[in-house]
Structure 1
Amino acid sequence: MKIGELAERTGLAPSRIRFYERIGLLKAVARQDNGYRSYPDDAVLALKLIATGQRAGFSLDELRTLLPGDLAQWDHGSLLDTLRRKVRDIEALQAQLAQSKAQLAGLMAQIEARPQDMDCAANARRVLSGMQLAEPGDAPPPKAGRRR
Structure 2
Amino acid sequence: MKIGELASLSGLAASRIRFYEASGLIAPARRLANGYREYPAETLDLLEIIRCAQQTGFSLEEIRHLLPQATPGNTGHDELLAGLKRKVAEIEALQHQLQQNRLQLLAVIDGIENKPEGMACDANAERMLAQMRERKGRVS
- TM-score by length of structure 1 reads 0.84
- The answer for the alignment partner of 1:144 in structure 2 is none
Deviations, residues 125-146 of structure 1 (Å, cap 9, x unaligned): 22123321837x927xxxxxxx
**What's the CA shift for 1:28?**
4.2
Instruction: Report the Cα distance in structure 1 between the residues aligned to 2:139 and 2:27, rounded to whole angstroms.
Output: 46
- The answer for the alignment partner of 1:86 in structure 2 is 87
Q: Is the 8 A contact 1:28 1:40 kept in 2?
A: no
For residues 1-148 of structure 1, the aligned pairs below 5 Å read 1-69=1-69, 74-132=75-133, 134=136, 138=139
| SS at structure 2 position matched to 1:131 | helix
Instruction: Report the Cα distance in structure 1 between the residues aligned to 2:74 and 2:3, rounded to whole angstroms.
Output: 24
Task: Report the CA distance shift for 1:38/1:72 in structure 2 as closer, same or farther (over 3 A).
Answer: farther
Runs of 5+ unmatched residues, structure 1: 140-148
Q: Is the 8 A contact 2:21 2:28 kept in 1?
A: no
The range that moved more, 5-14 or 103-112, is 103-112
Instruction: Report the Cα distance in structure 2 between the residues aligned to 1:110 and 1:102, rounded to whole angstroms.
Output: 12
Runs of 5+ unmatched residues, structure 2: none
Instruction: Report the Cα distance in structure 2 between the residues aligned to 1:73 and 1:11, rounded to whole angstroms.
Output: 30
The range that moved more, 69-78 or 51-60, is 69-78
Which structure has more relative contact order (CA 8 Å, sep 6+)? It is 1
| SS at structure 2 position matched to 1:69 | helix
Query: Cα RMSD between the aligned structures?
Result: 2.3
**What's the CA shift for 1:45?**
0.3
More helix by share: 2
Instruction: Report the Cα distance in structure 1 between the residues aligned to 2:26 and 2:48, rounded to whole angstroms.
Output: 11
- TM-score by length of structure 2 reads 0.88
